[in-house]
Chain A
């Protein structure tokens, strides 16, 4: 089983090492963002998935890491002898320092109070940073340049990519190892039953503080990598959108699985890359995706994958293939219908259409997907409605066929567990 997982992991990681040189420059850039987002999300999830603490201000540590790294880069530009590949270390140290201070206060509280403390901390930094020119460079922020080191110029995206890959792989390994240590296991107990940990004689505040600081440190490294790659940062790095993004990544990917946030970060970063210049409604789609995951797959994509892996032997894959195909088709149909409605709304309520409307003196047909549609014709709206209805019907059908198969697998799994 163990070896099985390891093999799978290596197989998944191999393309990340081999493929990039053959990819377009744009995809290479996106992969760097993906790596940074993945590390940030896993660090965030150390706090959430392991410690049960939902932070709404993790941008603070990400941002401070970015600024610390930029300050070090500026110092290197002026001749300080720090090897270029070690620059993100500054981010880690700054994250750790701020994490210790902020964490000391934040971990005094639990539940929503904890979330609110982190939110307030990040907002405070966000509002103060632009006032503090020397530290954060005003609203334009700091800008620096990577210096060549050891025969490497660090001018190309590929060089940055491989350095980031190395850093992220190392950090993920460390984070994973951390969850295996006795203290890491204690963290889990902290999430599930804090009272018990206290009775076992541990200082829970201290224990929570350590988790917080470790999480902040690795978030700082992620921020450092971003600064290393972008060579600039400004106060918006502390903003609510950054804190929100990591929450979305983590929960869409799944917070109960160690690599879940990586999946979420990868999916959403690629989604943004392919869709953000195509439609102005991409944030809407992202929000809808998030809500759907919260409603129907609270364990996230990673959670679903893990569930399948765990029931690998018991599941009757051949019987499942049909309904799974149906479910996929259903998802595509509903999505297509929904996107049709939203995008035609975007056209109908746009300024361009307002011009058409005024010139025509009524509701002229609107152009979409290469053809003209009549806004008042029932046919226009029947297309997406039928797609969505068909999708809904298919989804329901698939659900009824999948559920018994899963019940069966679960029963077999528990029995197997008992006999083993």
Chain B
């Protein structure tokens, strides 16, 4: 197969993952200088926004800074996410340090993220029993749930629940001091990373209290606008982004590894969502198929990688324009999943 001429009439089969990764390999070369620049810049802006949110007197500024601080938590998280994939710099140890730092504002324990995201989610995207992110229930499973749990599932998939889903199902159950049975085992580094983000949260609260005392404003307001609201924005952004990239009527889930493997899951289980402003604000995370194909491509090269990927596999890469209408259509159609026939269902 001639990958240099993707539109050639001779191309009559889908490119393999290995072929696509080889074609994109030149883009998987991180720059430590670029990484450190973005991390420093985003950390400085995030800190400034939090300070304004905690101390500014006009409510409008306070609110605006608080909402933007939530967005900056997400930006820093995406830098940490790259580090965890060893895509941020060429130095593994440095990546582990920078990743832990960048994950602090989102209170994300690095090692548990590595386990759940790098191994389970990327290793087995949309394969039930392995991938643990936004796994749809079958109608039978849903019907067997107790009433309160069915209600919670409905809230999660109501269109307004991504933040709640992320907070409870992923952060609380699988990232923040999870029970060993929830993540498959116990490691000292899990507890250490949990303690690290807890210490950071305490420092954050202490800083807000000090900022409020210094500026003569209320400590409760400082915590509300300097931590609670940014955290709400962050969790909703995170829950939303992981939902829309892997949930859609044309995106299948599997409960059989062989069928999953035969489906080109490296392309078929995710979407390229087009929303240029959001994509820019979120460090190109919407160039998602390229990221899933090769997690070692740094965020600042993902757009080029995605363009190349779409040229190489135009029939396999699924592209959608991310809009309000698109989101709500997906929400309406994707509630439960028929694994036997591989189709999304609504609630009966």
A and B interact physically: no
